[in-house]
Amino acid sequence: MAILGEIFQRLAEQKQSRIEEAHLLLGHVHMMIALPPKYAVSQVVGYIKGKSAIHPARVYGEQKRKFVGQRFWARAFFVSTVGRDEEAVREYIRNQEQEDKRLDQLGLF
């Protein structure tokens, strides 16, 4: 997972952006990205998703049959702007794994 984080950071830098906070989970990623106003959020996120999918394809390319018809990323993503609540968003990202586990436990009952 650390390799993906480094890849995300390098890709963000190519769009003059910076990943401020991130947490990679098995099924999804939470990121807070600072980007210049000249880029649309969809441009930066689409670029990061598209280019980051190339690495696993190269690493696991010999297993193509297992991935036929599969996509590395879902097409959708959620975006929200951060203003006064920046610290709350950072905390949410940092604690997302524990929150997911807590919600999973609630689903057991």
Catalytic site positions: 92
Helices 96-107, 86-94: inter-axial angle, 10-degree rounding: 60
Please give the biggest Cα pair distance in the chain.
48
Contact predicate 19/32, CB 8 Å: yes
